[in-house]
Amino acid sequence: MTSFSELGLSPKVLSAVADAGYTDPTPIQAGAIPVALERRDVCGIAQTGTGKTASFVLPMLTLLERGRARARMPRTLILEPTRELAAQVAENFDKYGKNHKLNVALLIGGVSFDEQDRKLERGADVLICTPGRLLDHAERGKLLMTGVEILVIDEADRMLDMGFIPDIERIAKMIPFTRQTLFFSATMPPEIQGLADRFLQNPTRIEVAPPSSTAATVEQKVVASGVKDFEKRSTLRSLIDTQEELKNAIIFCNRKKSVADLLRSLQRHGYSAGALHGDMDQHSRTAILQNFRDGKLPLLVASDVAARGLDIPDVSHVFNFDVPIHAEDYVHRIGRTGRAGRKGSAFTIVTRKDVKPLDAIEKLIDRKIDWLDGDLSTLGAEEDEAPKPRTRRGKNADKPAKAPVNDEAKASKAEPAAKKADAEEKVVTRQKSSETRNSKARAANDDRNRSRRRDRDDEPTPVGFGDDIPAFMLIGSKA
């Protein structure tokens, strides 16, 4: 096996790596670092959790030891799809760059421009940005990209999902053609391959795990549940309560609204939980994440966008409250646990409505996922498929005709389903006013109020380029 000292990194970097306690490079590091140090382009196919961040941060630090930053002319640029990922990359520069005196500027939405302007004015060696905020700075004339020597495009497949590709195209045009580009993506669908072909020059392709694979150390199970939200919430609580090894968990929902609903429900039932979604201000996100990392908050309810790539080394469980709409998201969610060879567990709540997306997931990961306690056929008949009889209107209208198996199993422990449904309804109602407040706060935030799509996770992720098909893809279709 290659050791860090054989990769060509500078002594300062090697010393910081040793201080971080790493003995051997991970496969993506062993593959990408020597190529990056030769100033060649890299196309890295690797998921988070594989040591991908250090695979570009370490060679960048070494290369940046020569030369100095000039005002408003950053030397290197890293594009990340979310603020959290950008902040994590900045933390990596602090950790591995502790022997360097580099100016690292984090340009993300949700924080004021002034501080960011000051950092740019001082001259940044490294700019770490979400695409929207970078373009805002560029449009305000605060940034000259002609000095950028290295461009890193991280999590390219997520950028595509979030509709950021047109922004990235614009940014890439501002950077000299002679730059070095390091491009990373967890999966390589044809659209991403097309982008890589366009952005990279004669790249070295480094693939560390087959795309769409899940770690062998993660125990995966699907759990049958009734389709109603209160039934799913009850199934989730049963799951949480019966997991003896549960230390902490991330619970994924498909929509921001479900994140908020589920959080309130869990808190109401006495669980210590926090939430992470795209509408939270940066300060609250950072505080919640820190509490989760420190173990003060064992449960984190999150949407895909907010949780993408979070570096939380020790998550024991992942619960999918909703089956992800895009099968690749399953791989990303599951990737939050079982990191660095540790054991992890992942449970996905599946209703009759989720048969198709579950099939897509099983196709993608090329295996069947076992059911925890019997498949969907073991549930009672679902009355929601048929129109409701009039007599069931009123406060117990949501009560299932027959309690699902999971609820029955829990019946002795839990309150009656109707009462629970009732309580949940109240929670949702109370939340409405705070959502109105939130939406007003959002409208006031000029960074969010732009037509460009950024840092959003309230809608299903657009497929492909969404409405923003880049010009180069339209060329052939005009005839």
Question: Measured from the CB atom, is 4 or 164 closer to ligand AMP?
Answer: 4
Residues 6+ positions from 159 with CB-CB distance below 8 Å: 79, 81, 131, 153, 165, 168
Is residue 232 near ligand AMP by the rule CB under 6 A?
Answer: no
Q: How many CA atoms lie within 13 A of 41 on its CB side?
A: 17
Q: Report in angstroms how near the CB of residue 47 gets to ligand AMP at its nearest.
A: 7
For the chain, helix, strand, coil in percent to 5 are 45, 15, 40
Give yes or no for a contact between 109 and 87, defined as CB atoms under 8 angstroms apart.
no
Are 158 and 308 in contact, with CB atoms under 8 Å apart? yes
Nearest distance in Å: CB 55, ligand AMP = 8
Judged by phi (left if over 0) then psi (alpha if -120 to 50, else beta), residue 455 lies in left
Rounded-to-integer distance, Cα 103 and Cα 92, Å: 13
Of 7, 34, 53, 81, which one interacts with ligand AMP (CB under 6 A)?
53
Candidate segments 51-59, 60-68, 114-122, 362-370, binder of ligand AMP by CB under 6 A: 51-59
48 binds ligand AMP (CB under 6 A): yes
Q: Is 280 in the site for ligand AMP (CB under 6 A)?
A: no
Of 34, 51, 203, 357, the one binding ligand AMP (CB under 6 A) is: 51
Structure tokens at 390: 């009039």
Q: Binding of ligand AMP at residue 443 (CB under 6 A)?
A: no
Query: Which of 43-51, 314-322, 349-357, 434-442 is the region at the interface with ligand AMP (rule: CB under 6 A)?
Result: 43-51
Contact pick of 71, 340, 397, 463 for ligand AMP (by CB under 6 A): 340
- Which residue, among 224, 257, 228, 223, has the nearest Cα to 418 in the 3D structure? 228
Dist CA 167 CA 131 (whole Å) = 6
Residue 52 near ligand AMP by CB under 6 A? yes
Q: Does 54 bind ligand AMP (CB under 6 A)?
A: yes
Residue whose C-alpha is closest to residue 332's, from 465, 450, 479, 218: 218
Give the count of residues interacting with ligand AMP (CB under 6 A): 14
3-state SS assignment for residue 374: coil
Among 80, 229, 311, 322, binds ligand AMP (CB under 6 A): 311
CB of 66 to ligand AMP, least distance (A): 24
Is residue 49 part of the contact set for ligand AMP (CB under 6 A)?
A: yes
**Stretch of 45-53, 107-115, 182-190, 368-376 lying at the interface with ligand AMP (CB under 6 A):** 45-53
Single-letter code of the amino acid located at 212: S
Residue 338 as a binder of ligand AMP (CB under 6 A): the answer is: no
Measured from the CB of residue 153, what is the shortest distance to ligand AMP in angstroms?
A: 15
Identify which range of 50-58, 117-125, 154-162, 210-218 contacts ligand AMP by CB under 6 A. Answer: 50-58
**Contacts (CB under 6 A) with ligand AMP, residues 351-370:** none
What's the CA gap between 41 and 93, in Å, rounded? 21
- Residue 82 near ligand AMP by CB under 6 A: no
- 189 closest CA partner among 78, 89, 326: 326
**Residues forming the site for ligand AMP (CB under 6 A):** 22, 25-26, 29, 48-54, 311, 313, 340
